[in-house]
Chain A
Amino acid sequence: MRSHLPSLPRLRWPIALWTTLLFAAFSNPSCAQDSLELFEKQVRPLLLERCASCHGGQEPEGDLRLDQAEGLAIGSRSGPVFVPGKPQESLLWLAVSGESPDLQMPPPPHQPLTHAQKRSIQQWLASGAALPVTAPSTDPTENASTDFANTPASDLWSLQPIELPVLPDAADEWSQEPIDRFVADRWPENHLPAAPADRTAWLRRVTIDLTGLLPTLEETEAFLRDPAPDAMERVVDRLLSSPTYGQRWGRHWLDVVRYSDSNGLDENIAHGNAWRYRNYVVAARNADMPYDQFLAEQLAGDLLPPDPSDPYRRKIATGMLVLGPKVLAEVDERKMEMDIVDEQIDTVGKAVLGLTLGCARCHDHKFDPWSMEDYYRLAGIFKSTRTMEHFTKIAKWNEAEIPTPEEVARRDTHQQELASHRDRIAMARQEAIDRWKQSLATDMPVPEDPEPMLPEADRQMLQKLRDELKELEKKAPEVSTAMAVSEGKIDDVPIHIRGSHLALGKKVARGFLAPVPLPAPQIAPQQSGRAALVAWLTDPEHPLTSRVIVNRIWRWHFGQGLVRSVDNFGELGESPTHPQLLDWMARNFQRDGWSWKKVHRQIVLSATYRQSSSTTHADLQADPENRLLTRFPKRRMEAEAIRDCLLQVGDRLDMGVKTSYLHVKNREFFFDHTSIDKTDYNHPCRSIYLPVVRNHLYDLFQLFDYNDAAVVLGHRDITNVPTQALCLMNSALAIDSSQGMAKRVLALDGTDAQRFALAVRFALQREATAEETAMACRMLDEASQRGLDPLGAWSLLCQGLLASNEFLFLP
């Protein structure tokens, strides 16, 4: 089933294992045919007759299902039930043969199998135990693929197969690249492309866009002096291979998975280990991890074999499922559990599929084709996943131990210390007792526990040793942990009527969204189904996964997606402005090994991206919302970019990788009832490393439309409120950065005009115009008349540059 996914050869799925298992035993196809015939003619009927009444249906005994051939293949709670070709090593044979006193099937008082029946099973096992590949279920209503067949095809655009559209002809010099051909194809016939942005503007745009930072003077100069035709390509390659790229684009993904260092909602306690997931995302993006693998690790990394070079990475990745906001003091524990499942479905649904599935918790989706069955199929997968350690208030989310070698050594040492201390106590006790015995008359009876009879000094000595042991026990060395899921209690979930856990309907088998026209991978009875979920999501024929992500990437570059409702590909979302381009990009993305960086390259080097952002009256008339991409969309920098660029230009930015800046320990409250915020944001690190505290985000971030950190958000608003202006006028960040910049400017030994030219290059990368230079010089004169010293005057001037629209908007 995974054979169509060549980019992930190292992932091994249970389904793949099963397939391997089925055919490994047969080198000769005709043997397989004989074995299969034996199964169909003799084994299957007897299993149905003698076994299926207990080992069948939705809740088979021992999780072994014998009313379906695949149930036999999947095995029981205790593992595989047969070894092809080897009856004697097969649990199935052991159970029915009567050879084992501990395992007799059917169990007494039922009659054992007849000799003929036993012989059939033995022969079939010996012949290689072939099973049909798509095993027809004995109960057709329970087969997931049957569900699919029964569902009328949806006419929702996003569920139609992804096409591989033919490239439109290149109409002119402008539209050489594929993206540009699709864009130009939608323009009215006589439309003339906008002028390209000048080189400085493109450099500033692409540097902020890919790294969230400004180009340095050196970078700008080098690019402007580079006459080579591939100068732009080399800039893009440099930016994509810079670690600052992942610090920017990892943050985009964190918006989508509602990353936070705190729980938020009612009990705002610290996600003390969330940073490990955050750094995982940054590293994965920097490594350009294929998106299908990226999803696999986040949804089911615990089920994958660990990467030897980074053994905990895949566990840490599953932190994504644990990061959601939870009502941890919910008094109704069953409600809490289903609320958490709902949050996971909502997140995965929106983030990966662009679907609002939450509606179907209470009723069939009003607009989209999702039914309550679809919802509870997925709910079963997440409910069978262990996200929580327990639900007793204050409930505790799950964490996995990820000890470093040093921690393992420390823990071992501690264990040894404990053991030797216990030995010491035992020895001291024995010695004391022996001494005491010797002091006795020989005929005195010795009580079973003579310790209370010991001399005071000995008893005190023992007490002291035991106290020391207790102290030592308390000093158990801490071991690193990460928020992570594991397989939980495997169960299907009944439909919750009107979404209430108090009104339960029929159970639905774990599975996927039936209206998605894709064969559903089988979920083994003893598995949550996350592995199969990944296989389903990353199937190249899945109509949503690749479309949704290329659209997100497009949105992060252009400020609007090709589908503007980036988190909603349903009926109430928007349809794509350029459907063919979207499909072409999705197919191309798959062909390029699900690489984000290749998509970036295509986009930022396209003529579409390189257009000027200036707007003419005619543009506004013809394409007011820029749906046809007749210009580069103007947009303000995001909160993080504003802060990082301010620090950068003020010469204060620390570009290093950071761990955690939380001031509270894991699971501790951020605020007690005193409401005093002790979180420290005063670190000159890149913004992605600052704490993200739900319910109390860093005010600077919140002000500039940071995401809410509690919900999936692929499209941040750009709002405009006066407090933003207050921040740029009055905050320590703005004032200190301006002063830092002023010092850099004053370090130049030159005229006011030369210094101003440098200031403009720092902040805007371009050359100052004569007009603005004259204005600045006038300002400086006025400032000195007002009695300001040079640093004061230049600080005000620099702050003016940094608070202006030209600085805050991408050129």
Chain B
Amino acid sequence: MRSEGDSMAKISQGGPIAIDRRAMLRQSAIGFGSLAASVLLSQSQGLGQTAPERFALEGFIPKAKRILFLFMKGGPSQVDTFDYKPMLERDHGKELPFDKPRVQFAPTSTLLRSPWKFSQYGQSGTWVSQLFPEVARHVDSLCMIHSLHGTNAAHGGALLKLHTGSDAFVRPSLGAWVQYGLGTENQDLPGFVTICPTLAHGGVNNWGSAFLPARFQGVPVGNASTPSDQAKIRFIEPAVPRDRTLQRWQLDWIQQRNQQHLAAQGQDAALEGRIAAMELAFRMQGEMPEAQDLASESLATQQLYGLDDPVTANFGRQCLLARRLLERGVRFVQVSHSDAFVQWDQHGDLKKGHEKNAREVDRPIAGLLDDLKQRGLLEETLVLWSGEFGRTPTAQGTDGRDHNPEGFTVWMAGGGVKPGFHYGATDEYGFYAVENKVHLHDLHATLLGLLGIDHTKLTYRYAGRDFRLTDIHGRVVREIFA
């Protein structure tokens, strides 16, 4: 069982909210004479840049230190974006010449060609549809997996599966596992931040820590209902405006009382931990508004992310905030493209819906990639672009596509993946993954692998057994490692 008592042991095994001892002593008005030096030492040991040996993927030196996950909620269509299928054009209106899946979310009819033209880009000659002209500039940096597949055809299950590896049970989120494996790099900020996440379809479980210690859970900045310029961490500001010096003054008093209490109670890790956490909270309160101050970015940078265009500004701000958090050492940042409807879920109105969605994200994502490259951050940052599933090449109504977990495309960039590379394929119409299939469990194993973590070794004992992100599954797709 876990308690603060043995969490100290866990901290020394990696994955702490590490306390910078000097910073703490410097900032504290009182000092922490009685804080056990051993606690601080074991915490700073957790500041590892790479995975501790017991989790490490053998024979591999990782490049990626952090993950940026661009989540496209609702399920963008692979055959209308990055998985070009000329046969679909040719056989438009005909029956699918093979069986549809046993389990389907909604009935679909005949094959439906893509309303968008595809062209080849870059040296890699990658086909991209008209929907992503800006991202298309970066194809030679992208590594596409065309053969992703999952098991769940409903949003809720598919979101949970993508984020936690399980659609039936509450399990820790990918970001929590990553923090557990690698710890945090910034003492003043949480290690896992999710920007404007959706509260539907699994909601908090998609960034929760489940049975992992709570400090590994994602900290949400706003949610999908919040415009990104108003998104904040909960309780980061006083409910009633309060002068910061006054708050410091009050905190000093609290800490003084805490010290006296500790002295009377005798050595205790939990009491000491709370004293440290109060200091961290105070620093976070100072640090977070600064991290969120996008106005301090140059006009050129703001334009790069599309902040000058009302269509792209909302998602652009999320991407720019993500970069600022990554820069500050946040280990796992998720950005969700999710709105008042299920964003990419075009059962009907495919043309209108996908066009609107792509417009909102294309420029910000391309700008983000440019920016990461310019700042030299892309190499150590693994960018993942994905929905919870793809869509059927067959039509729902006349202008719509149903959910399709059987085969879809995700792409990655930076962080040690082969640039301008394609892996796996769907059938000639883009329905099923058929070649070099990559299951969601394999994707998880691969993401951890790129961070230098062996997914079979990253375990946590809970309720009598060792749990993994990948349960008993998962293959590391080494073929895409640069």
Contact = CB atoms under 8 A, between A and B. Distances in A.
Contacts of A367: 464-465
Interface stretch (A132-140, A409-417, A561-569): A561-569
Contacts of B7: 719-720
B209 to A, nearest CB: 9
Given A266-B202, A673-B342, A720-B273, A804 B261 contact: yes
Given A615-B267, A732-B239, A803 B254 contact: yes
A304 B46 CA distance: 57
A724 B280 CA distance: 11
Contacts of B198: 673, 675
Interface string B1-16: 1111111000000000
A293 interface: no
Contact of A675 (B215, B225, B250, B275): B225
B246 A267 contact: no
A568 B167 CA distance: 23
Contacts of A722: 17, 190, 277-278, 280-281, 284
A91 interface: no
B340 interface: yes
A726 B463 contact: no
Contacts of B157: 265-266, 327, 329-330
A804 B214 contact: no
A624 to B, nearest CB: 8
A356 B224 contact: no
Interface in B230-250: 233-240, 242, 246-247, 249-250
Contacts of A168: none
B266 A614 contact: yes
B420 interface: no
A666 to B, nearest CB: 19
A565 B271 contact: no
A147 B253 CA distance: 67
Contact of B204 (A697, A711, A724, A736): A697
B200 to A, nearest CB: 5
A796 B254 CA distance: 10
Interface in B118-152: none
A779 interface: yes
A677 interface: yes
A331 B104 contact: yes
Interface in A341-394: 350, 356, 359, 366-367, 393
B24 interface: no
B203 interface: yes
A151 B268 CA distance: 48
Contacts of A718: 3-4, 270
Given A331-B104, A715-B1, A724 B464 contact: no
A792 B315 CA distance: 41
Interface in B163-203: 167-170, 190, 198-203
Given A705-B214, A805-B262, A796 B464 contact: no
A676 interface: yes
B154 A330 contact: yes
Nearest to B155: A266
A615 B277 contact: no
B154 A729 contact: no
Given A331-B104, A722-B281, A786-B246, A671 B262 contact: no
A705 B235 CA distance: 16
A711 B170 CA distance: 8
Interface in A544-592: 559-560, 564-568, 570-574
A568 B234 contact: no
- A-side interface size class: 35 or more
Given A266-B201, A331-B154, A702-B204, A675 B240 contact: no
Given A266-B154, A614-B265, A779-B253, A677 B199 contact: yes
Interface string A688-699: 000000011101
A329 B154 contact: yes
A729 B238 contact: yes
Residue of A625, A675, A699, A786 most packed against chain B (CB within 10 A)? A675
A721 B202 contact: no
Contact of B281 (A573, A615, A636, A723): A723
Contacts of A715: 1
A619 to B, nearest CB: 8
Given A266-B154, A327-B156, A800-B254, A717 B3 contact: yes
Nearest to B106: A331
Contact of A327 (B167, B237, B250): B167
B235 A805 contact: no
B281 A800 contact: no
A695 B270 contact: no
A345 to B, nearest CB: 13
Contacts of B17: 721-722
A198 to B, nearest CB: 12
Nearest to A732: B239
A711 B166 CA distance: 14
Contacts of B237: 730
Contact of A723 (B225, B233, B266): B233
Nearest to A631: B266
A765 interface: no
A264 B338 CA distance: 19
A801 B250 CA distance: 10
B465 A359 contact: yes
Interface string A786-811: 10100000001101110111101100
Contacts of A636: 270
Given A708-B170, A730-B236, A803-B254, A696 B262 contact: no
Residue of A266, A327, A705, A732 most packed against chain B (CB within 10 A)? A266
A615 B268 contact: yes
Nearest to A705: B214
Contacts of A805: 257-258, 261-262, 271, 274-275
Interface in A604-636: 613-617, 619-620, 624-625, 634-636
21 contacts: A266-B157, A327-B156, A329-B157, A560-B1, A564-B1, A615-B268, A620-B266, A634-B268, A674-B224, A674-B340, A675-B200, A676-B225, A696-B199, A696-B203, A711-B169, A720-B277, A722-B190, A724-B281, A725-B280, A736-B239, A775-B253
Interface of B: 1-7, 17, 103-105, 153-157, 160, 167-170, 190, 198-205, 208, 210, 213-215, 219, 223-225, 233-240, 242, 246-247, 249-251, 253-254, 256-258, 260-262, 264-268, 270-271, 273-275, 277-278, 280-282, 284-285, 338-342, 463-465
Nearest 4 A/B pairs, CB to CB: A266-B156, A695-B203, A572-B464, A615-B266
